[in-house]
Amino acid sequence: MVDHFVTPTARHADVVLPATTFWERHDMHVPWSGAGHYAIFMPKVIDPPGECRNDLDICAELARRLGVGGYNDRTDLEWLQSFCEGTACGSPTTAAPRSCRRA
């Protein structure tokens, strides 16, 4: 199980892997309930504490340990950049064009 906290479900798990929170990873989200027609880039603000890892890194490490080759060859930020290629707002690591910025 992967979780941020020791939840009631985590208490019953044999293995709990510490996951990062949205403050500790680069990510994209859609507005509440998916009501918007856009995604919001959320940059990593702080480094993860202790042994916390993002879901991509956890899955990539599990794949490596299980002998699954070629599972992932990008970082979380590289994946997000690839999702934004060709869009009006460009890459999450560059300044958005004026038309994509809030007034």
Reported as a single tens digit per residue, the pLDDT across 72-84 is 999 888 888 888 7
> Is the predicted pLDDT of residue 90 greater than 50, yes or no?
yes
Cβ neighbours around 47 below 10 Å, total:
9
pTM reported for the whole predicted model: 0.72
Average pLDDT on 85-98 reads 59
**How high is the pLDDT of residue 32?**
75
**How high is the pLDDT of residue 103?**
40
On whether the CB atoms of residues 19 and 5 are closer than 8 A, the answer is no
CA distance 29 to 41: 7
**How high is the pLDDT of residue 102?**
45
Q: Please, what is the average pLDDT of the chain?
A: 82
Average pLDDT on 82-95 reads 66
Reported as a single tens digit per residue, the pLDDT across 36-68 is 677 788 888 999 999 999 999 999 999 999 999
**How high is the pLDDT of residue 89?**
63
